[in-house]
Amino acid sequence: MSDKHLVCQGAKCQCKFSEAPQTDVLKVKTQKKTFLNEKSGSKKLLATNKDIGQTLEKNTFGKCKLQPTSSGNLPCQAVITQWTGFYEKVTLEENKGNPLLEDSKGTCPIGGPDCISITNHGQQGEGTKAQAKKGNNAAQNQANPVFKDFNDSETQNEKNYIQ
């Protein structure tokens, strides 16, 4: 698992049977306690294999190639019935689910097993004071010249901040 990211709310999913490659955003509806990669713990809920059903923002990937009609393909009505490739070594207490990984696949009743993939895991890094203190001061000053010295005390950093 060390090379794979965990998936959270906001992850982008795509169906291989979409007429034109279109993504939809994953919404976590099965738990409210475990968050990923954010200081405030309010947006990035950990997604699990229990996040099934209509668990996407729009619940569609556009038009479905597997539903042709004489006037064109019918619209997709995305319903995830199960996930495969999740992390089995961890189980959340709240929903008894296992975390999804960026290479987990979803099953749709029309597209079949593993037709839905995750194109973006949804995590987004947030810098913290502790990370700044661990970093290379010269490199950080080049990347962000607003601060003179990232390794100074918090008070010194506030003095160096240009408003």
Rounded to 5°, the CA angle 74-20-101 comes to 105
For residue 27, the enclosing domain spans 1-126
- Residue 138 pLDDT class (50, 70, 90 cuts): confident
Q: Note the pTM of the prediction, 2 decimals.
A: 0.76
* Same domain as 122, residue 143: no
Non-local (6+) Cβ contacts of 49 within 8 A are 82, 83, 86, 97, 98, 100, 104
* Same domain as 100, residue 57: yes
* Same domain as 15, residue 91: yes
Cα–Cα distance between 52 and 81 in angstroms, integer? 6
pLDDT, one tens digit per residue, over 2-54 is 589 999 999 999 999 999 989 999 999 999 999 987 767 678 999 999 999 99
* Same domain as 146, residue 95: no
Task: Give the chain's domain count.
Answer: 2
pLDDT, one tens digit per residue, over 29-39 is 999 999 987 76
